[in-house]
Amino acid sequence: MVTISDVAKLAHVSKMTVSRVINHPEQVSDDLKKLVYDAMEKLNYVPNYAARALVSNRTQVIKFLILEEMDTTEPYYMNLLAGIAKELDRNYYSFQLVTRKSMDIGQCDGMIATGVRSYDYDTILKEFSKPIILFGQSDRGYDFIDVDNEKGMRLTTRHVVSLGFEKIYFFGIDLQEPFMSARLKGYLDTVNSYGLPNYLYRMKNSSRVAERNAKEILSNWKEKCAFVCASDRIALGVIRAAQSLQLQIPDQVAVTGFDGVFLDRISSPHITTIRQPVVEMGEACARMLLKKIQEDGKSQGHRFFEPELLVRPSTVHV
Amino acid sequence: MVTISDVAKLAHVSKMTVSRVINHPEQVSDDLKKLVYDAMEKLNYVPNYAARALVSNRTQVIKFLILEEMDTTEPYYMNLLAGIAKELDRNYYSFQLVTRKSMDIGQCDGMIATGVRSYDYDTILKEFSKPIILFGQSDRGYDFIDVDNEKGMRLTTRHVVSLGFEKIYFFGIDLQEPFMSARLKGYLDTVNSYGLPNYLYRMKNSSRVAERNAKEILSNWKEKCAFVCASDRIALGVIRAAQSLQLQIPDQVAVTGFDGVFLDRISSPHITTIRQPVVEMGEACARMLLKKIQEDGKSQGHRFFEPELLVRPSTVHV
DNA sequence: TTAAATTTTGTTACCGCTAACATGAACATA
DNA sequence: TATGTTCATGTTAGCGGTAACAAAATTTAA
């Protein structure tokens, strides 16, 4: 293994100068810097992060806490994880994937938490003293990253309005959480602004439940209608309901989802949905957390990502 | 932060004795051991893994290399990851999620690789000098973990035979890899053993492609037939094809999948499939890798997990 | 009883790196 | 020329832990 001492020897400088070149290059003269860089290159030097972690009293580990039941949300998280991983790699951090049960195991420099529900604040999050970033909007003053949920739902609702639908059902998730309130608001504001009536339904985020509910509504179908759903999973159920009742998609029934991760493309027909740039959001989470760690826990605020409407055959003919 | 020295002071012993209690307790007398344990408890001592990593020249990091396109396989990997994470947590290891591009970034003590194809051996794997475990069977002498693919396919094929189907299509994935050969063999051996003809199709692992192929076959449907598919994704396509042709599932057309992760339950009807115990397999991967690291790279052989047939409405009435 | 062997415990040095301080050179000021 | 002031570089010590050796305590053998 090549160490800082090897580099120092080859460059005929002290270890400290090499260390400075790496961490505070502005303090070193250009001549020496060049010598050191050349030596590093020649020896293929790679810093030892365990040593650095030891001296700076850090771990180079961050935790990713998933508080939701994972199998209801899997495909979504894999992308998020990929984004987080990408940014962490770049900074020589590694991560631990933890759940409620395993979150206390081992040390870390900070945490990204997702699937946080109201009741988690007092139990899980309060205990945690290291920097933390939430994935998913929060109204408790925590730093977070999320897509602009309200705007996303405005986009889908406006989309079906523009297609001439006047009976527009909202199929939401039965959670009293900020992201759902925002999506609901996006729907309500839009139908109100067009002077259309609203039809609110809230249910478990499950394709079967959505299928059942949609079937009931559609069983005595009379006029064309649209379902704007709070998730692709729910949209999937609605599509199946319409198909089993032999209703034409998208002419008699139009359906929109939310997320744009995986399920929208598994469905047939593909689902018009709001794409969340999940990978980029993962990167942003990691970046924000690393910055927060570096700045000694200073609050980083929040950031909403721009939602993107993907128009697909569940609302329009190709 | 509580260190080994704090414990030593409280227990009135040397640092070394504390270290020994942790790593080689058999070398310490019971009296001192008790003193040390009490002190550790009282102070809530947690070892510093960066320090340990430094002195033992390890990183406490393992990499998880995904060589497949991730969005074709996401749901599967999330579970695998969960399993790996669980076992690593227990051993105070963290991990890095890497791809072809990022695999050289940072150090590690070993790697778990998945989605490995024939051409990867000479390019990616040969370069890597640390212990490595493959997820997915291999015929190149690498240590690996997989489900018993051959047996899994025997189970689904035998299942549809037992339901009275005599025309049984095999919808495989167009990859010349050991796992596919094994699944194919499981199908062929079974139909042969019953004196039934075989019908082989191989295609991209995509529900759309499968849908198209199945539609062609089913468009002039005459007799009841079954499709044993090499993935749930392909099975999903076949089910959609049958439904769009108004064929009754499971009476006129029966369908089985493979994997039992996520997609089997997204489908309607749910898919009869082979459940792979993916979480446990992930744990096993991690355990095997840690053992290999500990034993200085010694070969660990391989392990096949038992596949489990899940019977669902895509082959039988509920 | 005493030397030798064995077990238990302590001391030292070092893993690779960096903060804090020490030194020395270059330049400005009086 | 003597005396600060900067700036660039080197020296020292220590982060928390463990291997290797040394010393002390105990057991065994003669």
Nucleotide nearest residue B20, measured CA to C1': D18
Helix (H) or strand (E) holding B180: helix B178-193
| B271 Cβ under 8 Å from any chain A Cβ | no
CB B171, CB B234: distance < 8 Å: yes
Burial classification of residue B288, based on how many CB atoms lie within 10 Å of its CB (0-12 exposed, 13-18 middle, 19 or more buried): buried
Using 50 as the pLDDT threshold, list the residues of chain A that sit under it.
Answer: none
Burial classification of residue A283, based on how many CB atoms lie within 10 Å of its CB (0-12 exposed, 13-18 middle, 19 or more buried): buried
* DSSP reduced 3-state for B229: strand
**Banded pLDDT at B72 (limits 50, 70, 90):** low
pLDDT for position A243: 92
Q: Does residue A141 sit in the same domain as residue A153?
A: no
**Banded pLDDT at B107 (limits 50, 70, 90):** confident
Which positions of strand C lie within 7 Å of protein CB atoms?
A: 8-12, 14-20
Q: What is the 3-state secondary structure (H, E, C) of A205-262?
A: CCHHHHHHHHHHHHCCCCCCEEEEECCHHHHHHHHHHHHHCCCCCCCCEEEECCECCC
pLDDT for position A71: 64
Closest in B59, B98, B266 to A50, CB measured: B59
In this structure, is the CB of residue A59 within 7 Å of any atom belonging to strand D? no
pLDDT for position B73: 62
Beta bridge partners of B304: B146
In 3D, which of B149, B182, B148, B153 has the Cα closest to residue B169?
Answer: B153
In this structure, is the CB of residue A31 within 7 Å of any atom belonging to strand D? yes
Confirm whether A314 is domain-assigned: no
pLDDT for position A166: 96
pLDDT for position B48: 93
In 3D, which of A261, A267, A295 has the Cα closest to residue A83?
Answer: A261
Nucleotide nearest residue A50, measured CA to C1': C16
Q: What is the CATH number of the domain that holds A74?
A: 3.40.50.2300
Confirm whether A315 is domain-assigned: no
Give the domain extent around B217: 149-276
Q: Does residue B226 sit in the same domain as residue B78?
A: no
CA distance B196 to chain A (A): 33
CB B226, CB B168: distance < 8 Å: yes
Distances, alpha carbon A177 to alpha carbons A62, A115, A257, in Å: 26, 10, 18
Chain mean position to CA A207: 21
Provide, as residue numbers in chain A, all residues whose Cβ is less than 8 Å from the Cβ of B57: 1
CB B58, CB A48: distance < 8 Å: no
Q: Give the distance, in angstroms, between residue A249 CA and nucleotide C18 C1'.
A: 65
| B85 Cβ under 8 Å from any chain A Cβ | yes
CA distance B222 to chain A (A): 23
Q: Does residue A107 sit in the same domain as residue A255?
A: no
Confirm whether B246 is domain-assigned: yes
Q: Give the distance, in angstroms, between residue A296 CA and nucleotide C18 C1'.
A: 18
Give the mean model confidence (pLDDT) for residues B101-116. 89
Residue B126's Cβ-side half-sphere holds a number of Cα atoms within 13 Å equal to 6
Cα radius of gyration rounded to whole Å, chain B: 25
Q: Does residue A154 sit in the same domain as residue A272?
A: yes
Tell me, what amino acid is at B182? A
For residue A57, the chain B residue with the least C-alpha distance is B50
pLDDT for position A248: 94
pLDDT for position A104: 79
Spell A184-194 as b/e; 16+ CB within 10 A means b: bebbbebbeee
Q: Does residue B137 sit in the same domain as residue B283?
A: yes
Q: Does residue A106 sit in the same domain as residue A157?
A: no
| A46 Cβ under 8 Å from any chain B Cβ | yes
pLDDT at residue B244 is higher than 70: yes
| A262 Cβ under 8 Å from any chain B Cβ | yes
Q: Does residue B94 sit in the same domain as residue B132?
A: yes
Give the mean model confidence (pLDDT) for residues B203-207. 93
Confirm whether B314 is domain-assigned: no
Helix (H) or strand (E) holding A11: helix A4-11
In 3D, which of B272, B288, B290 has the Cα closest to residue B280?
Answer: B288
Q: Residue A49 and residue A51: Cα distance in Å, rounded?
A: 5
Q: Residue A179 and residue A146: Cα distance in Å, rounded?
A: 9
Q: Give the distance, in angstroms, between residue B48 CA and nucleotide C18 C1'.
A: 18
Give the mean model confidence (pLDDT) for residues B132-141. 96
Number of compact structural domains in chain A: 3
In 3D, which of B271, B252, B257, B260 has the Cα closest to residue B229?
Answer: B257
CA distance A282 to chain B (A): 13
pLDDT for position A272: 98
Structure tokens given for B220: 């002039």
Q: Does residue A70 sit in the same domain as residue A13?
A: no
In this structure, is the CB of residue B70 within 7 Å of any atom belonging to strand D? no
In this structure, is the CB of residue A294 within 7 Å of any atom belonging to strand C? no
Q: Residue B172 and residue A266: Cα distance in Å, rounded?
A: 19
More confident residue, B121 or B71: B121
What is the phi/psi pair of residue B61, to 5°? -125, 135
CB B154, CB B190: distance < 8 Å: yes
Q: Does residue B242 sit in the same domain as residue B291?
A: no
Confirm whether B31 is domain-assigned: yes
Give the mean model confidence (pLDDT) for residues B220-249. 95
Q: Does residue B158 sit in the same domain as residue B269?
A: yes
Confirm whether A52 is domain-assigned: no
CA distance A232 to chain B (A): 11
In 3D, which of B239, B96, B196, B77 has the Cα closest to residue A60?
Answer: B96
Q: Does residue B88 sit in the same domain as residue B197?
A: no
CB B110, CB B60: distance < 8 Å: no
Confirm whether A270 is domain-assigned: yes
Beta bridge partners of A226: A168, A254
pTM, rounded to two decimals:
0.90
Confirm whether B175 is domain-assigned: yes
pLDDT for position B28: 92
Q: Which residues contact B307 (CB under 8 A, 6 or more apart)?
A: B147, B148, B149, B151, B152, B155, B274, B275, B276
pLDDT for position A79: 87
Q: Does residue A138 sit in the same domain as residue A284?
A: yes
